Amino acid sequence: MTSDNLCVLCGTELRVAIEAPPTTYAAPGAYGVSECPACGLGHTSPAPSEAALRDLYAQDYGYGAHDLIAPEKRWRSAQILSRVVGASDHSILDIGCMQGFLLDAAKARGIARRQGIELSPGPAEEARRKGHDVFGGTVEEFARDRGDAPGFDVIVAQHVLEHVVDLASFVATTRQLLAPGGKLCLCVPNFSSKLRRALPRSWSWYQVPAHVYHFTLPSLTRLLEKVGLHIDQSFENGGDSLFLLMTGVNTLSSKAPGQMRKAPSMALRLGVRPVSRVLRSYFHLGDDELMVVASEQKH
């Protein structure tokens, strides 16, 4: 038995969860998902190589589709901020800020000090054009560059953690960036969602191999506890309208599960904008997204 088949969080032997999940990012069946029977963490299997991930992001990992639902992205960000931001919070860091949807919402709330981090140059530039301060690089590079600058009252990372290869480094660095008493808010796809269990071959947030890990509340709790953070609040949210349409297309598609799905992206482009306003209310109904708010462990 190699370490490839052991849970990165708790060392338990993994078992196959799904062999050929639908994905837009790989050939049919190239990657599956294994899960840890102890903590529930899903692992993309085989683990994608650094080179494979680099190619994927260089080629076709655009955020273009998210532009189609920009008003919905800002609305979701405002919902999230309303749960996290308190009267005494004056600074915010958005890791993986894309085109600045959450920073727009933070500005509208009157949060004085706002910072974004975005690896993808195009979206970062777009956020800067709107007047946001955006660092282009990883969270580790950002932390190194800023030295002893003051930490942030609130740090948000929406749909970032599942893309991260070195989970321990990411959460440890993020913790260092919190101001005393600061809050870390993570949003990730919920690997134990009801819809995933009901439609395991259609659920559209596997996105292997771009999503390296697949979280449940117990696995997220364990990861954060490793760096001395504990979860104060947790929520379950429905997926966005892109997620819903993609799941619908996967269900109706006659293709074998796991086939590369380029055609649906065209259907999504045509269909998503008009229905985004209606489908956004699924935010309050579904449980496909796990949202946690964590802070330093009290002794």
Positions touching Zn ion (CB under 5 A) are 7, 9-10, 12, 36, 38-39, 41
Decide whether 226 or 269 has the Cβ nearer to Zn ion.
Answer: 226
What is the distance, to the nearest Å, from the Cα of residue 163 to the centroid of all Cα atoms in its chain? 7
Decide whether 10 or 165 has the Cβ nearer to Zn ion.
Answer: 10
Contact 92, 177 (CB under 8 A): no
Contact 205, 158 (CB under 8 A): no
DSSP structural state of residue 290: E
In angstroms, what is the minimal distance from the CB of 154 to Zn ion? 29
In angstroms, what is the minimal distance from the CB of 283 to Zn ion? 29
Radius of gyration of the chain (CA): 18
In angstroms, what is the minimal distance from the CB of 11 to Zn ion? 7
In angstroms, what is the minimal distance from the CB of 43 to Zn ion? 9
Contact 100, 124 (CB under 8 A): no
Residue in the structure block whose two tokens are 């599942």: 162
Provide the edge-to-edge strand list for the sheet that holds 91-95: 134-135, 113-117, 91-95, 152-158, 178-189, 289-296, 229-237
Count of Cβ atoms closer than 10 Å to residue 278 Cβ: 9
In angstroms, what is the minimal distance from the CB of 293 to Zn ion? 22
Decide whether 7 or 184 has the Cβ nearer to Zn ion.
Answer: 7
Decide whether 40 or 286 has the Cβ nearer to Zn ion.
Answer: 40
Provide the edge-to-edge strand list for the sheet that holds 42-45: 15-18, 32-35, 42-45, 213-214
Decide whether 12 or 120 has the Cβ nearer to Zn ion.
Answer: 12
Going from the C-alpha of 39 to that of each of 200, 205, 215, 219, the distances in angstroms are 19, 20, 9, 5
In angstroms, what is the minimal distance from the CB of 187 to Zn ion? 21
Decide whether 10 or 199 has the Cβ nearer to Zn ion.
Answer: 10
Going from the C-alpha of 166 to that of each of 9, 132, 162, 214, the distances in angstroms are 11, 27, 10, 14
Decide whether 161 or 272 has the Cβ nearer to Zn ion.
Answer: 161
Strand-pair partners of 190 = 215
In angstroms, what is the minimal distance from the CB of 38 to Zn ion? 5
